[in-house]
Chains A and B, each alone.
Chain A
Amino acid sequence: MATPETAAPERPAEERELAGINADYKEKFGFHDPESGYAYKAPKGLSREVVENISAYKDEPEWMREFRLKALEHFLERPTPQWGGNLNQIDWDDIHYFVRASEKNTQSWDEVPEDIKNTFDRLGIPEAERKFLAGVGAQYESEVVYHQVREDLEKQGVIFLDMDSGLREHEDIVREYWATVIPPNDNKLAALNSAVWSGGSFVYVPKGVKVEMPLQAYFRINTENMGQFERTLIIAEEGADVHYIEGCTAPVYSTDSLHSAVVEIIAKPGARIRYTTVQNWSQNVYNLVTKRAVAHEDATMEWVDCNLGSKLTMKYPSIYLLGERAHGEILSIAFAGQGQHQDAGGKIIHAAPKTTSSIFSKSISKDAGRTSYRGLLEVAKGAVEAKSKVVCDALLLDEHSRSDTYPTIRIGEDDVDVGHEATVSKIGEEQIFYLQSHGLDEEEASKMIVNGFIEPITKELPMEYAVEMNRLIELQMEGSIG
């Protein structure tokens, strides 16, 4: 670190590099490709015909077609939620519900259409695969265009497919678990996803198999006014271990797009699943996602949920601790800048004795951005000796930003140990002054404080993602002073 005496007038190399990264979202992630070669683009709006066409187009079994149509009824019957963020601006009739960019899903990078390949090259996906991933899936618009899993894992029986292929090739497993964690009429957005879902990942890890390196899926929206509705199902059999990572970006448009995923996870006895999200949608995307996991006896489920992008995110990953000694953890970071509302949090339900859990939420608001923590901790009757700790910290970077905390705690048992802490703080002038006295300028000092604030969560990310996360935060922080 430079001292005031030795600080050079020119910006140090590291900072110059950061300034380059900060070019802006539009250049790095916000570009878009032409749609000229697209295989199919459904007309705007949602109807029985659109849903039937999606199902027919995918040549699905009859039970899935019926499932979709029933879900559509639930969607149409339910009112738009009036809590959380403002969803009234979404025009459900002004969305393309299904867009197929490529005719096929390939295992060969060379066969991916040129434009799409260039997009993922720019986003660094093939490079990441070569370096540190056990498998990767790349979804572009409604469908997965590239999928690959390491051969040694396949030999051990690990299945990592896009959801459409999962349904085709492993219909029996899919049907057994499908919608058992999130039924179609759980909520309006889950109903919508159930009606028009496309893509997503299907992961099955057999008993005792430990997948050492992460599996990754990358989701990209390209079309304007598009809805992406991926559906992910992860099953870890007894004693299995897997880490799944997802990332997402979209072009910057003046009109809004919608991303509404459903993620269902089943951790069998003794299994361990970690699900990491680095959400960096452009600021014209509504991100309305339902994620839920069940953890059976001695299983561990962890959500690491980082929300940086989108116009509005409403997402509360939940864990049902159904078996004795099951453990659940939710680590959540939310960053809201100008025009953004991050309504995030988590839910943990202790439904069995000796279950343990923790929720750590960190949120940062700047430039009139809004973050909300919305959480539920429930201990059911009979879940004796349950232990849980909920900590939610909010950091406000200026006077115009807003942070709200909506914690709900329901305890139905006496013999439990539950703690809840919440703090809201501003970056103090004293902290800035202290760091400036060590040679940092005001912006660097703020970045350092913010990075220190979220460090307990970023340290849980794989190194490559922690670095990316810090860079993204720095990108968001740029120009936040003065």
Chain B
Amino acid sequence: MSLPATLSEAEVLAAVRGVLDPELDESIVDLGFLTRVEVQGDEIRLELRLPTYWCAPNFSWLMAQDARQAALGVPGVRQATVQLLDHHAGNEISAGVNSGRSFAETFGEQAAGETLGSLRQIFRRKAFLARQVRLLATLPRERLAGLRIADLPDTADARAYVKVRAELGLDCSPDAPVITDAAGREATDIDAHLRAARLVRVSTDGNTVFCRGLFQTRYQGS
């Protein structure tokens, strides 16, 4: 009989790093929202804190749920719980997520018709456009017409873009066009497409700056 390997905080952290704030398309670990990881034997306890007391419960739910799932995915973990702290619906969200209930089950009437799956999809499509335009901003304009996946440089921006394409189920083969909408249709007017995509990128970046700023002022010195 072999003893279970000891879980380390670093392993859990590495797993949770992959959890993104769905609206900001950035890791909750990098944003500082994961404020505590506690490992006790094969049990994990995570603490989440968000930029405001009023952060939208639907997004907050997704982050809490994804964080718990990520922790449960670490080999050897038997149990994982998440506590969402300093949030107006923190107790309900934590209890709901930890018991494996759905958002709708937890909030009943108030969440009627709310499908978190579609909310997540909307923001994955925004992330897709934002990542695409970040990548394209690194390439000269004259190279953009007819750009194919095989033409992409090996950079972090390119990898991030191809990754989100794959998540959305879009063609990532070498011959696939790069400048497409979230349904995979190649843009015919590149400049108009870039303008619209850039607006999504600016909006996302602006929100990230705002949320980071609020998080800092809320937890100054902590």
Partners in one complex: no
Interface residues of B (CB under 8 A from A): none
Interface residues of A (CB under 8 A from B): none
